Amino acid sequence: MIMNTVCGVLLPFLGTASGSAGVFFVKKRSRRLQMMLSGFAAGVMTAACVWSLLIPSIEGGARMGRWAFVPALTGLVLGFVILTFLDRQALRLMQKLNIEKNGAEVNSFVFFLAVTIHNIPEGMAVGMMYASLISGSGSVTAGSALMFALAIALQNIPEGAIISMPLHSQGMKKSKAFLFGALSGVVEPVGAVATLFVTRYVSTVLPYFFGFAAGAMLFVVADELIAKRENSSEMPVTALSFGVGFALMMVMDVALG
């Protein structure tokens, strides 16, 4: 069990590092390739959110009958709200640094910070899967936990490439661009371990944590992989609208289905 958990926790980081290494093999940045990688990552993350997070969350609230969606919806909303707040703070920091300084080092730091923030919920999600497995709740098996970690790792491969390749195209050395991309994934095993130790003692709230991780990850899908805002000073309207539509359909499916 311990070795399985360690491997599962490390898989997402290995995926990020593998994707970041792509900078050594691609000679020229391709806009089409970048869009393909973004779309692939969005598909994998959305599927993982539904089948590995939201469905177990709803099953965990089954005792509430027609209100079984409450844990998933509560966590989903909190995930979107908190990630929106963090996203806004990252944008404010970006604007402040651009006013005070200029240069590739500052821009690289801001980009690295933004991506790192968005990697935290992925690590949390993996940690919650293994916490549920260890607690013996029955909703998560060793196979499903491993498959979820593999899905996150698979999604992180194009994500790592999306980080390192643009940095190299802006003039950064390949080795340094790879390092930035790989380091952005370090927070994933850290977040997984921290969540593992917290949730293993509070298994009754696991459905809410599953919903939170799903909400945070769906925000990343909608805001970072789909919207690609042109004006960074605007609220992430597309991401928030995506979350409202997704939550509404989930509630209708559970309550009326």
Q: Write the Ramachandran bin of 124: left for phi over 0, alpha for psi from -120 to 50, otherwise beta.
A: alpha
Tokens of residue 230, six digits: 């042109």
- In this predicted structure, what is the pLDDT of residue 14? 94
Closest CA to 178 of 224, 112, 118, 225: 112
Angle at 200 between CA 157 and CA 209, to 5 degrees: 60
Contact 172, 105 (CB under 8 A): no
Three-state secondary structure call for residue 171: coil
Tokens of residue 32, six digits: 């089409």
Q: How far apart are CA 83 and CA 158, in angstroms?
A: 21
Task: Give the H/E segment covering residue 135.
Answer: helix 104-135
> Cβ contacts of residue 120 below 8 Å, gap of 6+?
187, 188, 191, 216
Residue-wise over 187-217: b if at least 16 C-beta within 10 A, else e? Answer: bbbbbbbebbeebbeebeebbbbbbbbbbbb
If 0-12 CB within 10 Å is exposed, 13-18 middle and 19+ buried, where does residue 228 land?
exposed
- In this predicted structure, what is the pLDDT of residue 236? 63
User: For the chain, how big is the Rg over CA atoms in Å?
Assistant: 18
Contact 157, 89 (CB under 8 A): no
Instruction: Give pLDDT tens digits along the chain (257 positions).
Output: 788 888 989 999 999 999 899 888 876 656 676 667 666 767 767 777 787 778 888 888 888 888 888 999 998 899 888 878 877 777 677 666 665 554 444 455 555 665 676 677 778 878 888 887 887 766 678 888 888 888 888 878 877 877 787 777 767 788 888 998 898 889 899 988 988 887 766 667 778 878 887 887 788 777 766 665 444 445 566 666 777 777 777 777 767 65
- In this predicted structure, what is the pLDDT of residue 190? 92
Dihedral sign (CA 37, 40, 44, 46): positive
Three-state secondary structure call for residue 61: coil
Angle at 72 between CA 242 and CA 186, to 5 degrees: 75
Angle at 45 between CA 22 and CA 87, to 5 degrees: 85
Q: How far apart are CA 147 and CA 141, in angstroms?
A: 10
Closest CA to 241 of 255, 229, 231, 232: 229
